[in-house]
Amino acid sequence: MLCAADLALVERDRQLPGLATLLDDDAMLARLRSAGYAAAAIASTYLRYKPHTNCLVAYTVTSPGQHQPCCLYGKAYPLDRVEKLAKYQRMGQRARDSHLPPMVVDALGLAIAPFPLDRELRSVAQLLNSATRPKVCRKLLALEPDEAIAGEISLTTLNYKPERRYVGGLNVGADPSQRWVVKAYTQDDYDTARRNSRDICSGEVLAVAPLLGRSHRYQMLAFPWVEGQPLETAMQGDISTVHSTLQRVGVALGELHQQRLKRLQPMSCAAEALDVMELVSDLCYLQPSLAGRFKSLSRAIAEGLVHLPQQWHSTHGDFKPDQVLVKGDRITLLDFDRAARAHPARDLGSFLAQLDYQHLGGCLDDPRRRAAAAGLLQGYATQGTAPDPDTLRLYTALHLFKLLPEPFRYRAPDWPTRMEKLLHRIEGILQREEVGGRCEGWGVGSGE
């Protein structure tokens, strides 16, 4: 059943008649059952939405007799773009062993694609197909034919964003040295990720998984499996451990920023200002009652970025706790798909914003959030000059602003309230509130 905010959005966007079905798990479940899908339960997990243009929602589906839930996604288009639906109808030919066929509802402009069928990630179906997997692996990892056939090739899905990226853990037999992480991309993202992965090097503290395999045909990259404790787990330890661990993370980030990698694409402060302004219209459409605050905050952030003296460093581009593994004194940074030459505060602000976001969501308490922020900045400062507090505030506000769609994107039932809490935090930061200082939780106060 749709919440009030979802109902209002459906009413506003009449160009997407399938939107009501996509946003309502019960309606999608009924639609699947009417088409003969043996689905017992369904839960939406992820969403991408462009008003009047399209909406994609990913789901996990539980079926009778299956030990693990499966995945599928639906995508809605305006009725005058029905030619897009024909491409989904043809997808079934790429994965004949799929448990479920694709489905198209022309009257709603709606396509439903069961995993591993994916309109943009066509090679995923071949990787998931046990008959074609050895061929893909031989091409990707340069395995000898006998080596690929002799050992059983197993695959575990680690992360999947429909029509964007697939990440899987690949094993050949029981040999721990024959273990990889495989990533499948869209064409544009593949080219960028391949370029970014070639040059970034490890340091004294920083560890980087080298690129071991690539396939232009399948748009896939392969990296060695890296053992280590996820930083998000380490951040739940005692305060002193959190602080010391984050100091090493700061050192590792500083070692990355010192690398001169000229082949990384540039991301100027002015370009980041444009990104903020482009996000505003979608936010205003999601929550018209907050439009004034969206606009004023985006202008303040963009103006600050435009006037910020440009610095060029090799940055991670998506730096947050789930991109970090800890093993002894070594810190492994993962996923350089968005790496770019940019201002170093880009990564620091991204991480600090994630700490705030996790705290607001109840996943990280205030003492550990403070210890993590302090440790990160202290460790980073040992590698060079840290950005000044005003620049840190600006970039933290920038990345929190970019997180504003997340409660809606990940289908939080109270997403309007969570969005307003984020706005309140951004306003506090821009009013020179201490970065890493106290902020209210999701359920406390009204945000005003």
Question: Measured in whole angstroms, how far is the alpha carbon of residue 341 from the centre of its chain?
Answer: 20
Contact 415, 403 (CB under 8 A): no
Contact 108, 98 (CB under 8 A): no
Measured CA to CA, the distance from residue 45 to residue 65 in angstroms comes to 22
Closest CA to 319 of 338, 343, 341: 338
- Write the CA distances from 223 to 18, 146, 154, 191, integer angstroms: 39, 21, 16, 16
Q: What is the pLDDT along the chain (448 residues), one digit of tens a residue?
A: 799 999 999 999 999 999 999 999 999 999 999 888 888 999 999 999 999 999 999 999 998 877 778 899 999 999 988 788 888 888 766 545 555 678 899 999 999 999 999 999 999 999 998 888 888 998 898 776 665 555 688 899 999 999 999 999 998 876 767 899 999 999 989 999 999 998 899 999 999 999 999 999 999 999 999 999 999 999 999 999 999 999 999 999 999 999 999 889 999 999 999 999 999 999 999 999 999 999 999 999 999 999 999 999 999 999 999 999 999 999 999 999 999 999 999 999 999 999 999 999 999 999 999 999 999 999 999 998 888 999 999 999 999 999 999 999 999 999 999 999 999 999 999 997 666 544 444 433 323 2
pLDDT (tens digit per residue) in 105-144: 999 999 999 999 999 999 999 999 888 888 899 889 877 6
Model-wide pTM > 0.85? yes
Measured CA to CA, the distance from residue 120 to residue 388 in angstroms comes to 42
pLDDT (tens digit per residue) in 53-100: 999 999 999 988 777 788 999 999 999 887 888 888 887 665 455 556
Please calculate the CA angle 257-267-184 and round it to the nearest 5 degrees. Answer: 85
- Ramachandran quadrant class, 173 (left: phi over 0; alpha: psi -120 to 50; beta: rest): left
Q: Which two tokens stand for residue 417?
A: 């309230």
DSSP 105-151: EGGGTEEEEETT--SS-THHHHHH-TTTHHHHHHHHH---HHHHHHS
